[in-house]
């Protein structure tokens, strides 16, 4: 069964600090993995995309890693800002004909001043 598990469920950090969010998956076949940021009451917005052959990719203060052997990914946020407070969702794109996605439950990040 395709599954995506994220940890922690929630995280509170102080502004300026770094944090790392984890994602473990069992999706097969694997097309790519994306991290999304979802602000409260808004739709998800893509932060990074990782394909099978990529180990790390950065987008500003966001750095995603992928270990295809252990089926783990992480999202590292550097120098957090208050605007980083949101839900971060790990999403697996599989190679099915309908292009269905498998969503993690998300990590709710709260950044305090």
For residue 103, the minimal CB distance to other proteins (Å) is 4
- For residue 29, the number of C-alpha atoms closer than 13 Å in the C-beta half-sphere is 5
**Which of these ranges, 16-24, 54-62, 69-77, 100-108, lies near other proteins under the rule CB under 8 A?**
100-108
- In degrees, rounded to 5, the angle at the alpha carbon of residue 99 between the alpha carbons of residues 86 and 39 is 10
What character string, x for contact with other proteins (CB under 8 A) and - otherwise, covers 1-40? ------------------------------xx-x-x----
∠ CA 22-110-10, nearest 5°, is 40
Report the alpha-carbon distance of residue 30 to residue 1 in Å, rounded: 13
Residue whose CB is less far from other proteins, 45 or 82: 45
The residue ranges that bind other proteins (CB under 8 A) are 31-32, 34, 36, 41-46, 49, 89, 93-101, 103-106, 108
């Amino acid at each position: 069964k395709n599954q995506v598990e994220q940890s922690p469920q929630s995280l509170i950090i102080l502004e300026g600090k770094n944090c790392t969010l984890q994602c473990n998956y069992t999706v097969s076949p694997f097309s790519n993995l994306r991290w999304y940021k979802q602000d409260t009451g808004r739709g998800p917005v893509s932060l990074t995309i990782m394909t099978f052959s990529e180990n790390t990719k950065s987008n500003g203060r966001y750095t995603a890693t992928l270990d295809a052997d252990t089926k783990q990914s992480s999202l590292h946020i550097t120098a957090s800002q208050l605007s980083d407070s949101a839900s971060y969702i790990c999403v697996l794109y599989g190679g099915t004909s309908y292009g269905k996605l498998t969503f993690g439950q998300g990590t709710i990040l709260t950044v305090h001043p």
